[in-house]
Structure 1
Amino acid sequence: MNIHRQAEKIPSWIWHREREGRRHVVLEKSFVLHAAVEQLEMRIACTGEAEIRLNDAVIGHFPEHARHTSTFYPVAGLPGGLEPGAYTLRIELRNTEPMPMHPINMHLHDRSVGCIAYLSGSEGLWLATDDTWEAGDGPAEVVCVWGEEPFGDLDHAPLWFIAGGYGDIAVEPVQGIRVISAAGVEAVSGIDGVIQMNGTAGGRIVLDEVESRNERHIFYHLLKQGEWKERRTQQKELDLSRMPELLLELPHELNVRMQVTNHGDSEIGLLWNGAESLQELRHYDGCMTEWLAIPPGSLSATNPQGMRYVQIYVSGDDGGTFHIELRLEAAGAALNQVGQLQTDNDLMQRIYDVSVHTSRVCHQIGLWDGIKRDRLNWAYDIYLAAKTEYSLWDDYSVLKRSLRELGRTPYGYWMNNLPSYTLWWLSSIWDYYFETGDREFVWEIREELQRHIAWVKANADPCSGIFMPDAREAHSFIEWSPMGTSESWACLNAIYGMTKSQMKQLADHMPELGLQWDEPQAELKEEQFIGPSYALLTSVIGIKSGYVGEDSARRFLLDYRLGDPLTPLSAYWLAECYSEYGMHERAWAVIATVWGTMLDAGATTFWEGIRLAPSSDIHHALTTYTAYDSYRMSLCHSWSSTPVVWFARYVLGIRALEPGYARIAFEPHAIGGLTAARGVIPSPKGLIKVEWKLEDGRMIKSARIGEAELAGRA
């Protein structure tokens, strides 16, 4: 795995400390050269008009334009070289139109303006925008690091910027690429993700500019989706019958960049499509569609995107030969997997392994919901994805920076514009503390905790304990499955009750946080959660929150028959409920059916949604509920990696009973016909190594932390 730990060298987006409150900014950096420097290059992106001076000479000017926020543009007026001496690089910026802010992206409220640039040259010259620059009356402040929203990955950046602003994104060759079909091109798949493409071009592909680049977008992925849809429309109007064409399948869905080297004598272009499925590739109007030009003797690269299938059309002089070297690399946070599971149940093992891969690939600049869509930090997705985190990885840096980013949402706004998502974020903090015992991080974000608790309390009736009492007739988003207004409001209040309980526990463990939450528990009836037409998640949340009593919960769980509509999200909660009531075989049946159905459909990562009823097109089957048109659902979604959690708790049998694993339960179960299992669970106390087997119907079990042996409950 190749990792570029050079975050200190990658430029950051910077601005005056007042952010949008200071629209006219001068950024300066002084430096001294002790030797002559040649091979100068400077690139810049910014949110306003920019005039660039080196000492007193104007070397570049860029008018204010949306395109300048998404691409690194070269500064054309640089001299051929610089003599030894003192220099000042000065960027004067005037902004009239900041990046748009909406309640859904309000956690980015202080990232609406920014400038990012670098100056390089021989003799090791490298100046990158960071907080050592001056911004008039004080030092510049970092708005966000390279790769973060709302700017995302800029085009025409140096290849090593793939490391990301935190320096922990690694790349590795994609092995095992399969050539599905090739027409007019000889494709030879070699080692280390390299494919040699040779053939004769059938002419030049001509495409118009895309209008999406003329607008500012609240999220980078919305820019890309608009761009893809425009390019796809243009593609459909082309006659590509004479163009050499190549269709590739990756061994798994991955976040992939392509490096393309043109070994020919003339420029070639690639019109390429990326997709999560063949149905999407063939039918979806918004299928990933991009254009890459490669001059002769040069290398060009795409920014990484989430895909499993790649379709390429080669553009070149009619009758001219081409020789292309295509290298595919998977990008993602460099994670060390310490959690493990080995069982003698093939389906269980496959579900575990694909869940691990799903979790891994969603660790990028943030803990994304998915690597194709939306490539964002969503509070509920993170809440569920983090549960997997604690059973697998030994580094929670990606999780913590994602929680920090969402925590920046100001008072008066809901995270991701959803009340339930603020509640899930608060619950995520308790889960983090409970699983890790990390008081330092919780203390670090105490102001965010206090702010969001205050906003939640401001929307609750202090007498009745009802959350959002005036929203009874409004629909509250809980998940994608259809849910009535009254159901959603009851679920919202049940989540509120669970969150409040967790915050009280956090306050008890860390009184120094100063958290106060004394309102009474809302009175809700069982009948608000259990009913013949209710969504599965409504009943499950009622059970998890305690509003559904034990007898009614047990009766519901015994009577329930798995069926549509549901999601992996609600299926996971159902499995948890079954196991909490000792019905482990029923829990396994849920996981085997829901996640097994995805595997039967060829999944290499687990999906955002699912429909159990067979369909000739999985995308249509996934989009028949409450939102999105055809093909909008994600086939790689971090919240669907949760079987890992269930396996750790109930197959290996390891659960924390107190924060930081101060007390541990060890209660494995021979589920699904298992006769043996072994694995590893990370904990703040060290790696917990578990092994058990059945002998004459009796379980022989062992769990160790270092030299210490666990027996039952520790």
Structure 2
Amino acid sequence: HNPHNATNEHAMRDFEIHVPWLGSLEHGNSGFRFARIDLLDQDVDYLLRNVQAISVMIDDPEIGSFSCSDERLNKIWETGAYTVKLNMQDYLWDGIKRDRLVWLGDLHPEVMTVNNVWGKHDVVRRTLDFAKADTPLPGWMNGFSSYSMWWLLIHRDYYLHHGDLDYLKENRDYILGLVRQLDECVDANGEEKMTGVRFLDWPTSEKPDVIHDGLQSLTYMTMKAARQIAGWLGDKEMSAVADKSLARMDKFEISRTDASQAVSLSLLAGMSKNPDADCRKLIENGIDSFSPFYGYYAVEALAENGYTEKAMEMISDYWGAMIDLGGTTFWEDLNYPDTKNAARIDEIVPPGKYDIHSEGGAYCYVGLRLSLCHGWGAGPTPWLQRYVLGVKPLEPGCRTIEVKPNLGSLSYAKGTVPTPYGPVSVEAHKDPSGKTVVDVKAPKGVKVAR
């Protein structure tokens, strides 16, 4: 057995089977990009006629779309959508090869992709409901306090996109209980004291100061989302808990580590005292500090603060590197400096080249255990529709949307974004003077704010 092998955790990948003579056999419920078959019997000739692999995936039409004058960004959009599509199974899985599980933090970039490509889809509701049923309070989803927060943030974003008030009401009691539980983990000085596993992403998992700053901002973001949800539900009880928690947290000064994950969340939470300086810090840290998961929030934070073009460059460099190395889906992990001497993953590694697939990885993704199709890496797909096409829901169910394309150095961008009333179509191009000309077609029932 290869010492770098992927192991059989979560799904069977390395196994032995008995095969018939003059017969056929169906075996294995797994996922793979590459497969190796060894004949283990000694001094035996086995006539193997063929091996067939069956691909199981949804056939729902893609309602959302994106294309622009940069083919690399187009390929990145398509790759992110395809990554999530493969994971849309009985639940919205984390990965096809290994993590055929529901991980709630990882779920947020996936749900944002589903919202922007397929619109309202049953797999999202099934997955959110499974997580709730599997985690009676006072438990934390997947054991992580941060992942329970991502569950609540997903509900906020799901409602903004789809406007399903009955579903929001169905989850009200659990959301209120979770908000109270989070509030109990914010002390009198407004400092988070989250229990359970304290986690943002794997690259920061051994940095308690970064985790603390990140959880402080993530808790603040979640309480702001709870206040929004309370307003939509007319729930004074939930609103009061969120307001008191936010008031305490407003008084607490976070320690301000320079790690991109913590800085990104601070910007998105609205807690940054100097957003421009923090954006410059993200740019200075660069993509060497990224993970496919939290890289999404770094480029989102940059775009929210006027650095859309720089974020596009980072997306092109970081996520594009996976495609350059032979990726057809986005990976669980990419340590960008490793790409400098890396061989493509779809070729035999030449002498002197780094085998990034077999020799790379850390933490839960050492060597071939690294997932090459991981939904948490799909963030650029919804990002391109939100910040380049500029489509953002302002009212629940997309009753009012903002359309403010930002082309940067692109000459044009066009695409569609699903709404409950039908897709919104946006085309933007630069005229000879360099001015951006925008054409928006919105279905009846959708008001467009420009």
- Aligned residue among 345, 366, 370 for 1:633: 370
1:670 has 2:391 as partner: no
State the shift of 1:509 in Å: 0.7
Q: Which residue of 2 aligns with 1:692?
A: 428
- Between the aligned partners of 2:325 and 2:403, the Cα distance in structure 1 is 35
- SS at 2:330 equivalent: coil
Structure 1 or 2: larger helix share?
Answer: 2
- SS at 2:99 equivalent: coil
Q: Could you report, residue by residue, the CA deviation over 1:672-701 in whole angstroms, capped at 9, with x for unpaired residues? A: x32222211101121111222222123232
Q: Which is bigger in relative contact order (C-alpha 8 A, separation at least 6)?
A: 2
User: Which deviates further from its counterpart, 615-624 or 410-419?
Assistant: 615-624
- SS at 2:439 equivalent: strand
TM-score, normalized by length of structure 2?
0.86
- Aligned residue among 271, 290, 294 for 1:566: 290
Q: Which residue of 2 aligns with 1:457?
A: 183
- Between the aligned partners of 2:330 and 2:175, the Cα distance in structure 1 is 32
1:595 has 2:299 as partner: no
Q: Which residue type is aligned with residue 692 of structure 1?
A: A
Equivalent pair of 1:369/1:378 in contact (CA under 8 Å): yes
Equivalent pair of 2:144/2:197 in contact (CA under 8 Å): no
Q: Could you report, residue by residue, the CA deviation over 1:116-155 in whole angstroms, capped at 9, with x for unpaired residues? A: xxxxxxxxxxxxxxxxxxxxxxxxxxxxxxxxxxxxxxxx
1:509 has 2:246 as partner: no
Q: Which residue of 1 aligns with 2:25?
A: 300
What is the 5 A alignment of 1:367-378?
Answer: 367-378=92-103
State the shift of 1:296 in Å: 4.5
- Percent identity between the aligned chains? 26
What is the 5 A alignment of 1:124-523?
Answer: 232=1, 283-284=4-5, 286=7, 288-296=13-21, 298-314=23-39, 322=47, 324-408=49-133, 409-461=135-187, 463-468=188-193, 476-482=198-204, 484-511=207-234, 515-516=238-239, 517=241, 518-521=243-246, 522-523=249-250
- SS at 2:385 equivalent: helix
Q: Could you report, residue by residue, the CA deviation over 1:420-468 in whole angstroms, capped at 9, with x for unpaired residues? A: 111111111111111111112222233332332333234333x444332
Change in 2 beyond 3 A, CA 1:406/1:316: same
- Between the aligned partners of 2:183 and 2:138, the Cα distance in structure 1 is 11
State the shift of 1:291 in Å: 2.7
Equivalent pair of 2:108/2:150 in contact (CA under 8 Å): yes
Q: Which residue of 1 aligns with 2:259?
A: 535
Change in 2 beyond 3 A, CA 1:454/1:347: same
Equivalent pair of 2:6/2:370 in contact (CA under 8 Å): no
State the shift of 1:520 in Å: 3.3
Q: Which residue of 2 aligns with 1:617?
A: 355
Q: Could you report, residue by residue, the CA deviation over 1:10-49 in whole angstroms, capped at 9, with x for unpaired residues? A: xxxxxxxxxxxxxxxxxxxxxxxxxxxxxxxxxxxxxxxx
TM-score, normalized by length of structure 1?
0.55
Change in 2 beyond 3 A, CA 1:292/1:499: same
Q: Which residue type is aligned with residue 395 of structure 2?
A: E
1:576 has 2:300 as partner: yes
Change in 2 beyond 3 A, CA 1:464/1:405: same
- Between the aligned partners of 2:400 and 2:300, the Cα distance in structure 1 is 21
Change in 2 beyond 3 A, CA 1:389/1:457: same
State the shift of 1:707 in Å: 6.7
- Between the aligned partners of 2:164 and 2:236, the Cα distance in structure 1 is 14
Equivalent pair of 2:411/2:430 in contact (CA under 8 Å): yes
Q: Which residue of 2 aligns with 1:702?
A: 439
Change in 2 beyond 3 A, CA 1:554/1:314: same
Q: Which residue of 2 aligns with 1:557?
A: 279
Equivalent pair of 1:368/1:638 in contact (CA under 8 Å): yes
State the shift of 1:665 in Å: 0.8
State the shift of 1:484 in Å: 2.7
Q: Which residue of 2 aligns with 1:219?
A: none
State the shift of 1:307 in Å: 0.8
Q: Which residue type is aligned with residue 669 of structure 1?
A: N
Q: Which residue type is aligned with residue 356 of structure 2?
A: I
Give the gaps of 5 or more residues in structure 1.
1-231, 237-281
Q: Which residue of 1 aligns with 2:347?
A: none
Change in 2 beyond 3 A, CA 1:315/1:490: closer
State the shift of 1:481 in Å: 1.6
- SS at 1:291 equivalent: coil
